[in-house]
Structure 1
């Protein structure tokens, strides 16, 4: 199967590229703005297409000949106003229609699951995720599914994770490799896509809360510093 990955240089996207290039049944393409961010050992196993997801013509051209799409579009530490996710998804879906690609797996956020709320500090980026979600929901002609991820942590995979439609099935954390594994399986296996097509799917790694808190403490400190810097820059319009 020919698979194209958007957002492959972020934390989740990197895991998708890692796992998908290890799969002999997949021929992987990474659509990126900065190819140098893909590790050399992985870059040598896939096709790199240089482009901007905000450019609809570049997106459509990259989709020609593909059979499935995984989108890991995000904003990293940036928490201000953005349309990168929603406009990127719009361009991807439009391009899929014109090139007759029918399978799509997307990374979303668990804040948008029923009964959940969005922390004030993340409202602007979550709003763009919601705009993307609304666009995806209208795509009845495409087999799509959305992984409504809680905290995405770069921790070792326990090899087990749970999924549930419209709710989180367990802990409020998912390992990047678990998230990547689920999305790859959805686009690769028709039975998995049939089960989750046109659904928001909560996903949780099988790890105790105290364990992932300890493992992710350094990353949490880095995230906190990054968020503070972003808030200061946004406040002063820098």
Structure 2
């Protein structure tokens, strides 16, 4: 059944793949970006491109009204990571609730996954400080989601803590886990943005995980 999906951060690598995957399955997509002039190429059959700010609840309400589900793939490097992700989490929870959108799928980051009880990848000795600061923003976002008294059915989908392949074709195959790094599978290839998008849209079409951090991998 066709759904209306609003994708925040639609101009990025994960966002673009999510838009393409959703449209390929027959869904209608509103692609939300900060600067529509830079991303006019996103527009096409089944896709409308609009300007929006995921850190402002009023903007979220405006672009999300009338949709069935939302994906947040937005990220910013021009402000502190914790500030951005915390603001976005609050704005999404408040805005989507006001807009009547009940399902929220967020793109996480693999460095927040645990390698041992209570020990995230970004806590490893020697983990780059700049990358750790960015990862901690995602952790702060998750803290907001977990603490919220909300009817929004959210999930954070976290790919492996490695660089994803932006060129690899879609296989449609992936594994899911929990809040821990998934062990490498025999013969597994580098996880791709295309297959991350498959996992994101699957969680909208047939939600299997709820209010959790969920690892995905090849």
TM-score bucket of the superposed structures, by smaller chain: 0.7 to 0.9
The 3-state SS of whatever aligns with 1:186 is: helix
Q: Identify if the C-alpha distance between structure 1 residues 20 and 37 changes in structure 2 by more than 3 Å, giving closer, same or farther.
A: farther
Residue 36 (structure 1) shift: 3.5
Mapped pair 1:124 → 2:133: yes
- Residue in 2 aligned with 1:81? 80
Q: Identify if the C-alpha distance between structure 1 residues 167 and 35 changes in structure 2 by more than 3 Å, giving closer, same or farther.
A: same
Mapped pair 1:154 → 2:155: no
Residues 39-66 of structure 1: CA deviation (Å, up to 9, x unaligned): 62x4122122212223321111112111
Mapped pair 1:182 → 2:212: no
**TM-score, normalised to structure 2's length?**
0.82
- Residue in 1 aligned with 2:110? 110
- Residue in 2 aligned with 1:227? none
* Counterpart Cα distance in 2 of 1:114 and 1:170: 11
Residue 144 (structure 1) shift: 1.1
The 3-state SS of whatever aligns with 2:141 is: helix
Mapped pair 1:16 → 2:15: no
The 3-state SS of whatever aligns with 2:75 is: coil
Residue 71 (structure 1) shift: 0.5
- Residue in 2 aligned with 1:3? 5
Computed over aligned residues only, the root mean square deviation of the Cα atoms, in angstroms, reads 2.1
- Residue in 1 aligned with 2:145? 136
Mapped pair 1:145 → 2:146: no
Structure index of larger Rg? 1
**TM-score, normalised to structure 1's length?**
0.75
- Is contact 2:34-2:52 (8 Å) kept? yes
Moved runs in structure 1, 4+ residues, more than 6 A? none
Select the structure that is richer in helix: 1
The 3-state SS of whatever aligns with 2:5 is: strand
* Counterpart Cα distance in 1 of 2:166 and 2:212: 25
* Counterpart Cα distance in 1 of 2:64 and 2:15: 17
